[in-house]
Structure 1
Amino acid sequence: MFFSKWWRLKKAGILGINARNLEFVQRLNNRKYYPFVDDKVLTKSLAEGHKIKVPKLYALVETEHDNRKLDKMLKGMSSFVIKPSQGAGGEGILVITHFINERYRTSSGKLLTLNELKYHVSTALSGAYSLGGHPDKVMIEYLIQFDPIFEKVAYQGVPDIRIIVVKGFPVMAMVRLPTQESNGKANLHQGAIGAGVNIQTSITRHGVWHNEIVTHHPDTFNPVEGIEIPFWQECLEIASGAYDMTSLGYLGVDIVLDKDHGPLLLELNARPGLNIQIANEEGLKDAYEKIHDKLDQNLSVNERVAFVLNRSK
């Protein structure tokens, strides 16, 4: 039975974690460029230099001295996101939706005092959420007002779009939908749903939830299939442009759709996970083969995206 399952996965072109590390991460990603994706402050700066839209940075807390002035940084602000610059897996992100009765309300409904916010920021500065536990910086940035297209399939959080890019070619995509279990975060490891996306039509497929196939959101009971994602070509252009921006040949590009600002680059990942294959019922090996003959051609972002959208299925 095990051999039969393994053979079906191999035949489908499914990429395992060891093959991902050897054939994609190590071969296509030069480690000297990792800071471009591991440091969100640097990512944001690079994106702005390449005319790629990102959520606005309101303030940057770099030291405990800065943290003591947090009240001045937040003056007049009732909604924002606190995010460790080098955080991974959504850890340490605090989403503030309202300011009421001298307290900050999180997306989960919890009320925090200013001192509690300062404690959280101090914890992040110490490196509690950063890769390798290194001292970190903390960003305070614009809170995404997500596009209503996802209103019926997102629970108390902001959904995002993950696009896998190989040497500038978008090859696979999914939309990550927050759930009650994930505490409103679009993180599959914390219980969010990943719904596959037909990369040529922008229409969602079924979802994957804890490695199981699902067709409906567990909290809203609405179908995750059949949603046509707006601004799709612009999303693909942002994803493709991330390769030129970072020189990393294998990337996970996370994009959010804001109802006022359209697609915004949220962050990048040089070691993207593999559940996206289950959500799309397609292996990354097969997706790679579809663009292989074009990899050595010096194509622009527009040319790469046009090839992906117009190639035969």
Structure 2
Amino acid sequence: MSWISARRLNRLGMLNMNRRNVDYIGRYNERSSYPLVDNKLRTKLAVREYGVKTPKLLQVVRQQHEISHFREMASELDGFAIKPAKGSGGKGITVISGRDGDEFIKGSGARESSEVLERHLSNILAGLYSLAGTPDVAIVESLVQCIPSLARYSFEGVPDIRIVVFQGYPVMAMLRLATKASDGKANLHQGAIGVGLNIGTGNSLNAVQFNRPAILHPDTGLALENIRIEDWETMLEMASRCYEATGLGYMGVDLVVDAKEGPLLLELNARPGLAIQMANGCGLLPRLKHIESLKRLHFSPAERAQYAMTTFDQS
């Protein structure tokens, strides 16, 4: 990066990785809290105590001999998701959206047998997808059925909302839409679209793919400029509650909107990426500094969510 471009980014209030790591992750995140957010099962159990809903837990597979119970459990299900508890970046997640006889149908349309899924569970337990290659636990969750108003924008995968929370305050948010390039996953570095969201309203601001402006979704062809997230204030309050549940001062909260259950927490991230700034067209630093300057932090999650909506509204 040239000296001139660095100055321009600084004017925009862009948070860079070094500053994020030292001034925010290092300063505000206790190392003792990391195992909680790096483990999806522990996260689910922790946030439940604070009124944050997650997809229904159908089965936990901790030992190889427990895999034999999977086929019986899944025999009555049309859809579910298998996840490694300590996986990252979407690795090891298998989503089943239907079945045809003895075969399970993935979101991509591919078909898998019970034997293949059981082998996948075995690989999860062996640590194939865990952060450090250590033995893991597999969890089977109910399938998220995204509300149609959002599902139509995404290619195959379920769209999710990433909210960056600092000291319990939601400070920036984006909608992540899967694309063919991202293989149906909502990971921006793989080619998903990031749509910046106005904290004040839940309305879309602008969008990027591979850090370049995007006007239309490349696969659905839909315009990305007039998207509105339902139950927005509820989602901000849910994100804020995760502060009490984890004690993390700086984190990413990933939510989805289920057609029946409403907003649900997917997972937490103690090291959220910085592409959310590109999606929003503005930097995190001014908002983070504003929260740091508060003489008295608001006590309840609802108060913090309301304060963020008023203070960071870009209407």
Give the shorter-chain TM-score range.
over 0.9
| Cα offset, 1:290, TM superposition | 3.0
| Cα offset, 1:140, TM superposition | 0.5
User: Which residue in the other structure is 1:82 paired with?
Assistant: 82
User: Which residue in the other structure is 2:310 paired with?
Assistant: 310
| Cα offset, 1:298, TM superposition | 4.9
User: Which residue in the other structure is 2:9 paired with?
Assistant: 9
* Sequence identity (%): 42
Q: Does 1:272 align with 2:251?
A: no
Contact 1:208 1:275 (C-alpha < 8 Å) held by counterparts: no
The residue correspondences of 1:18-167 to structure 2 (distance < 5 A) are 18-167=18-167
User: Which residue in the other structure is 2:192 paired with?
Assistant: 192
Equivalents in 2 of 1:3, 1:107: separation in Å?
46
| Cα offset, 1:8, TM superposition | 0.7
Equivalents in 1 of 2:312, 2:8: separation in Å?
24
Secondary structure of the residue aligned to 2:157 is: coil
The residue correspondences of 1:280-299 to structure 2 (distance < 5 A) are 280-294=280-294, 296-299=296-299
Secondary structure of the residue aligned to 1:14 is: coil
Higher deviation after alignment, 256-265 or 143-152: 143-152
Secondary structure of the residue aligned to 2:55 is: coil
Equivalents in 1 of 2:46, 2:253: separation in Å?
14
Equivalents in 2 of 1:182, 1:293: separation in Å?
39
Equivalents in 2 of 1:29, 1:16: separation in Å?
17
Counterpart residue type for residue 262 of structure 1: G
Q: Deviations over 1:141-188 (max 9, x none)?
A: 011000112133101110000000001000000000011122211111
The residue correspondences of 1:254-265 to structure 2 (distance < 5 A) are 254-265=254-265
Equivalents in 1 of 2:225, 2:312: separation in Å?
23
Equivalents in 2 of 1:295, 1:275: separation in Å?
30
User: Which residue in the other structure is 1:178 paired with?
Assistant: 178
Secondary structure of the residue aligned to 1:133 is: coil
Higher deviation after alignment, 143-152 or 113-122: 143-152
Contact 1:162 1:176 (C-alpha < 8 Å) held by counterparts: yes
Equivalents in 1 of 2:297, 2:198: separation in Å?
25
Counterpart residue type for residue 305 of structure 2: V
Unaligned 5+ segments in structure 2 are: none
Secondary structure of the residue aligned to 1:95 is: strand
Equivalents in 1 of 2:304, 2:75: separation in Å?
44
Equivalents in 1 of 2:148, 2:69: separation in Å?
36
Aligned pair count reads: 313
Counterpart residue type for residue 257 of structure 1: V
Counterpart residue type for residue 277 of structure 1: Q
Higher deviation after alignment, 272-281 or 143-152: 143-152
TM-score, normalisation: structure 2: 0.96
Compared with structure 1, are the counterparts of its residues 265 and 295 closer, same or farther at alpha carbon in structure 2 (3 Å cutoff)?
Answer: farther
Equivalents in 2 of 1:134, 1:296: separation in Å?
42
| Cα offset, 1:312, TM superposition | 6.8
Equivalents in 2 of 1:225, 1:63: separation in Å?
47
User: Which residue in the other structure is 2:232 paired with?
Assistant: 232
Q: Does 1:252 align with 2:252?
A: yes
| Cα offset, 1:311, TM superposition | 2.5
User: Which residue in the other structure is 1:218 paired with?
Assistant: 218
Counterpart residue type for residue 221 of structure 2: F
| Cα offset, 1:296, TM superposition | 4.3
Q: Deviations over 1:179-230 (max 9, x none)?
A: 1122211111222111100100110122121121211111011111221111
Equivalents in 1 of 2:30, 2:196: separation in Å?
28
| Cα offset, 1:294, TM superposition | 2.6
| Cα offset, 1:75, TM superposition | 2.0
Higher deviation after alignment, 201-210 or 296-305: 296-305
Cα RMSD (Å): 1.3
Secondary structure of the residue aligned to 2:132 is: helix
Secondary structure of the residue aligned to 2:219 is: coil
Counterpart residue type for residue 223 of structure 1: A
Q: Deviations over 1:243-280 (max 9, x none)?
A: 01000000100000001111001100000000000000
Counterpart residue type for residue 162 of structure 1: R
Secondary structure of the residue aligned to 2:104 is: strand
Compared with structure 1, are the counterparts of its residues 27 and 267 closer, same or farther at alpha carbon in structure 2 (3 Å cutoff)?
Answer: same
Contact 2:151 2:158 (C-alpha < 8 Å) held by counterparts: no
Counterpart residue type for residue 56 of structure 1: K
